[in-house]
Chains A and B, each alone.
Chain A
Amino acid sequence: MKVLVAVKRVVDYNVKVRVKADGSGVETANVKMSMNPFDEIAVEEAVRLKEAGKAEEIVAVSLGVQQAQETIRTALAMGADRGIHVLSDDELQPLAVAKMLKAVVEKEQPQLVILGKQAIDDDCNQTGQMLAALLGWPQGTFASKVAPEGDTVNVTREIDGGLETVALKLPAIVTTDLRLNEPRYASLPNIMKAKKKPIEQMSPADLGVDTAPRLTTLKVTEPPKRSAGVKVGSVAELVDKLRNEAKVI
């Protein structure tokens, strides 16, 4: 089967983000950018399916600015076969992204689409579910195990009370949670090889999608800071403070 993975370029998870002084957003200039960690897990899962003989081809898709091609190259170096880049300098919100991915899916006809459960910048956690809705496909969100078998895929999901397994008829959408796998590092030879793999570029207009945002960000602020309290010297002092000062026990 063919597997499509969606990858997003985001501020690297190790970067401590700063809110811009004018409250218009978060500082992204001269900040290290990387593939969204949940999307790395998506790519890794697709590559493992291919290595296990369950997938034949992996297509990595990214939407956004020109540099999103670097993110696609990372996916290609990890083992994806080719890339698709939908170039746009505009803010793309999950509904618009899902509509564009739908158009790509209709063109590519994959049996399985794997996405990260959420991007670590906007923390929306929507795109996979929206894509499933628009395609009329079933969805296995927050996956910790993905087992395709014949014309179905069993997905074990991380839910609030523990784990749940659902059986989905293919074609289907899977979104990844942290414990699905540990993504590999691309080796140097594979990074070199990835440079020769094809990336097709297109525009939102080519896909017939209006990407106008529905949500306007009025302002971005820092959350209230929590200040360090006191260090106590003993367990007895701690319990005393909790009982008599904080009055929480």
Chain B
Amino acid sequence: MSQIHVTTRLNGDETEFLCDAQETLLDVLRNRLGLTGAKEGCGTGDCGACSVTVDGRLVCSCLMLGAEAVGREIETVENMADGETLHPLQRKFLEHAALQCGICTPGILVAAKSLLEQNPSPTEEEARYWLAGNLCRCTGYDKIIRAVMDAAEEMRRAS
């Protein structure tokens, strides 16, 4: 079966790959490009563990085809830190103990970053509704929400 040649921009770098027509962006990232930070928790867009941004928009990479990445800007959790410097959200997740097992963490970080880019001053309720598409089974969300609110405050102060 012939494969599709795709050129895209991934975490700032021009990237080429071949993929099958029915292959999801998530499978391309994980199996062809070695970026396993995005996780498959459901494959149906219900858990958010595979969250990435495409042209700045938050998407479930399990619901998008790899072939659709042509000419787009894809950002994954692997590009959140600036070299050795963690993004404030990453740092606050550690400080607030906002992860237990950590499987949902990459998706939640990508989603939370997307929230703060659109709304630097979310209320707790806005944060909870924005993150309602990201399932976490360990924490009960308490420390996640605290970490997001704290990071938002720090980022507002710094800007």
Say whether A associates with B. Answer: no
Give the interface of B toward A (CB within 8 A): none
